[in-house]
């Protein structure tokens, strides 16, 4: 039987920090949240909190990773297009995480930034999943596609990312409708 050592305790504390940070950022926003508040909520000092992460940016990227991993089960429960719409709905419920996502995705364009690797891994995986959804919809007769599925996936993802940015600047913007509109352009309709 394996011993419960410092490594396992450290990993458990790291998971706790990420969960607390995820909840605080979701409720209070990226700009409105101090890492001191996250640390205090975990019964740590700021240096104690940072012991578990390479940098503040690393912590923020790990929060995004935890958001994606935690949401994957909920999103996968839905089928086809509905799973992607549910991701958007969840974003509307957690504006602080949308703000964090947009900020980190911009910062991640720098290959030296800790967010770069996260987004370099994330986008190909998302495009592949969306392309698979497109291919399944085309094969099932629910969607028509005059472009290859991978290119449609890139376009649909651009709609989602772009509407999040617009929504951050104007909360009256409906984040779900533009994706529904884009998908409606791809719906197969009987013309007879």
Judge whether residue 84 has pLDDT over 90: no
pLDDT at 56: 87
pLDDT at 6: 61
Q: Of 15, 16, 82, nearest to 74 (Cα)?
A: 82
Q: What pLDDT score does 133 carry?
A: 87
| pLDDT band, residue 186 (cuts 50/70/90) | confident
- State the average pLDDT for the chain: 87
| pLDDT per position as a tens digit, 26-47 | 888 777 778 899 999 999 999 9
Mean pLDDT of 47-72: 89
Model confidence at 3: pLDDT above 60:
no
Band of residue 77 on the pLDDT scale cut at 50, 70, 90: low
Q: What is the pLDDT of residues 140-162, one digit of tens each?
A: 888 888 899 999 999 999 999 99
Which helix (H) or strand (E) covers residue 16, if one does?
helix 6-28
The predicted pLDDT at position 5 comes to: 57
pLDDT of residue 192: 41
d(CA 120, CA 179) in angstroms, rounded, equals: 23
So what's the pLDDT on residue 90?
85
Query: How would DSSP label each residue in 49-84?
Result: HHTTSSSHHHHHHHHHHHHHHHHHHHHHHS-HHHHH
Taking every pair of C-alpha atoms in the chain, what is the biggest distance, in angstroms?
69
**pLDDT score for 10:** 82
pLDDT tens-digit series, residues 160-184: 999 999 999 999 999 999 999 998 8
């Amino acid at each position: 039987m394996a011993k419960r050592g410092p490594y396992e305790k450290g990993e458990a504390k790291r998971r706790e920090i990420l969960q607390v940070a995820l909840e605080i950022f979701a409720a209070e926003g990226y700009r409105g949240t101090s890492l001191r508040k996250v640390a205090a909520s975990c019964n740590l000092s700021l240096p104690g909190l940072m012991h578990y992460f390479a940098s503040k940016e690393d912590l923020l990227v790990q929060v995004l990773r935890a958001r994606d991993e935690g949401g994957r089960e909920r999103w996968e429960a839905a089928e086809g297009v509905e799973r992607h719409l549910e991701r958007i709905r969840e974003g509307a419920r957690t504006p602080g995480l949308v703000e964090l996502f947009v900020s980190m995705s911009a910062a991640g364009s720098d290959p030296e930034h800790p967010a770069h690797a996260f987004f370099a891994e994330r986008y190909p995986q998302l495009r592949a999943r969306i392309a698979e959804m497109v291919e399944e919809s085309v094969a099932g007769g629910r969607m028509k596609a005059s472009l290859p599925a991978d290119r449609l996936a890139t376009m649909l993802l651009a709609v989602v990312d772009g509407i999040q940015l617009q929504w951050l600047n104007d909360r009256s913007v409906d984040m779900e409708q533009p994706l529904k509109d884009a998908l409606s352009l791809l719906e197969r309709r009987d013309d007879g």
